[in-house]
Structure 1
Amino acid sequence: MTLPIDGPRLNPKSGLARQLVVFLHGYGADGRDLIEIGRQWQHWLPDAAFVAPNAPERCVQSPTGRQWFDLTSRDPGERWRGVVKARPGLDAFLDAELATHNLDDSKLALVGFSQGTMMALHTGLRRRRAPASIIGYSGLLVGPEHLDEATARTAKGATPPILLVHGDADQVIPLEALFDSADHLGKANIPAEWHLSLGVGHGIDGAGLEHGGLFLARNFGLPTPKRP
């Protein structure tokens, strides 16, 4: 059963949305899992609206949570079929949110965690116009052999700025996924920055959050903010 893609929101601290940050949660979670990050980033992004949509499917292994796609089989093509199937619904959601705030993709940032990172990279690299930035926490690039489809470019013809963040103690998606993803992107002429969180498992630490907030501010073209 496909459910509506919608979830918790945070209004801009300044009162007027000039940017939109969309959080994409991991497998078995929902939008509540990430929306509070927006409160921590409001210091750096006072004009940003934040939204953390719930994925469109109930999670097979955690009925109270959601999934962007199923992850129950060992079929190596499962992830690829999953991101391809889920992308149109997410694209439609992003288009509607941007229209609500009278913004375009140059003011959009996608921030994923785990399965949400898979969706952020897959969708963001295939938008009609590239988002301002993509951040992937504790995730990986799905279908690197299909990167010829990753045609999203900015108005200046550049690929979207990407930051990948991973814990070196992650036992769910191993650290090697970060380096493999960055390597595949680089070979496709899509450069990516990365940050390694020492001693961190499948989660996000304070340093990772700070890197993310500053990365978004920089790529939205904002002045370098002071630390809170």
Structure 2
Amino acid sequence: MPQLPGNGLMTAAIAAGPKIAALSCGKPVYLVVLLHAEGSSGQEVIDLALNFAPELPKADFLAAEAPFPAATGRRWFPGEGFSTETIVAGLTTSAPLLDAFLDEMLSARRLPGDHLALVGFSQGAMLALDVGLRRAVPPAVIIAFGGALPETRDIGAPRAQPPVVFIHGEDDAVVPLADMIATRDRLKALGLPVKSMRRPGLGHGEDDDGIIAAGSVLTAALVKPKKASDDHDHGDHDHDH
């Protein structure tokens, strides 16, 4: 269980939460790690994974539990709220923890780094992006629900260039749609394969259509990699030329 050194945060650690074992009953071929939102828990996101598992019978689904307590559930950053300063400080604190946690979970299953997929929600989406883009071996895909990276968070030239998919509510008042678009365009400018799906009428959360789309993305990335870049018209996708 990776922990942080010093500064009163020695007890901060990411824990392996609830999971869905590979339905094939054999050794898993893929690992999908889900990172819950602020004030949530691993149980909430593993319930969503029930939608994905039937199409990915060779994948283990694992919900990670954030290291810091919140008023309800857990949170990924030690500070409260979504100010730029809190997000950047939180990423600086928690990114090394998640990176080590992912290494540990992959090693336990004897899986290579590119057999990993990250699905994050809100703060968890921010952390999935920040860590996934820096890993030496890129994950197969990063899916971010309601997440973005502040302009002040330097990602430089990413060591990894995994496919990234943003799924975002148009009425998100916590992480505005404009922040997602800015992050998406920033990653595209760095050469990453990035797509986004905007959900009309949705605030800071996820809906059925977004979850269904995420399942399709996971299946394409993990089971049918040659088709991962195919375009599917859901009617809500951003199409940039």
TM-score range for the pair, normalised by the shorter chain length: 0.7 to 0.9
Are positions 1:134 and 2:142 aligned together? yes
Correspondence for 1:155: none
Instruction: Give the structure 2 partner of residue 188 of structure 1.
Output: 190
TM-score, normalisation: structure 1: 0.87
19-28 vs 80-89, which deviates more?
80-89
Indicate the SS of the match to 2:211.
helix
RMSD: 1.9
What CA distance in whole angstroms lies between the structure 1 residues aligned with 2:129 and 2:90?
A: 13
C-alpha deviation, 1:108, in angstroms? 0.2
Q: 2:98 — aligned with what?
A: 90
TM-score under structure 2 length normalisation: 0.83
CA contact (8 A) 1:166 1:196 kept: yes
The alpha-carbon deviation at position 168 of structure 1 amounts to: 1.1
Inter-CA distance 146–3: structure 2 relative to 1 (3 Å threshold):
closer
Residue pair 1:144, 1:184 contacting (<8 A) in 2 also:
no
* 1:157-168 paired onto structure 2 within 5 Å: 159-168=161-170
Q: Say if 2:39 is the partner of 1:28.
A: yes
Partner residue in 1 for 2:235? none
User: Equivalents in 2 of 1:178, 1:163: separation in Å?
Assistant: 11
Match of 1:39 in 2: 50
Q: Decide which moves more: 107-116 or 211-220.
A: 211-220
Change (3 A) 1:88 1:74: closer
Contact preservation (8 Å) 1:6, 1:54? yes
**Deviation sequence 1:66-118 (CA, Å, 0-9, x none):** 11113437863331121121011111111111111111111100000000011
Question: Where does the alignment leave 5 or more consecutive residues of structure 2 unmatched?
Answer: 1-10, 228-241
Worse-superposed segment, 114-123 or 39-48: 39-48
Measured in 1, the distance between the counterparts of 2:218 and 2:14 equals 27
Identical residues among aligned pairs (%): 35
The size of the alignment, in residue pairs, is: 215
Aligned-pair CA distance for 1:48: 0.8
Contact 1:170 1:201 in 2 (8 A): yes
Q: Is the 8 A contact 1:147 1:188 kept in 2?
A: no
Matched, 1:19 2:19: no
| Preserved contact between residue 88 and residue 153 of structure 2 (Cα < 8 Å) | no
Residue 102 of structure 2 corresponds to residue 110 of structure 1: no
Unaligned runs of 5+ in 1: 153-158
Q: 2:217 aligns with which of 202, 215, 224?
A: 215
**Aligned-pair CA distance for 1:191:** 2.9
Structure 1 residue aligned with 2:76: 68
CA distance in 2, matches of 1:124, 1:175: 21
Q: Which amino acid aligns with 2:15?
A: I
**AA paired with 1:140?**
A
Cα separation, 2, equivalents of 1:27 and 1:104: 29
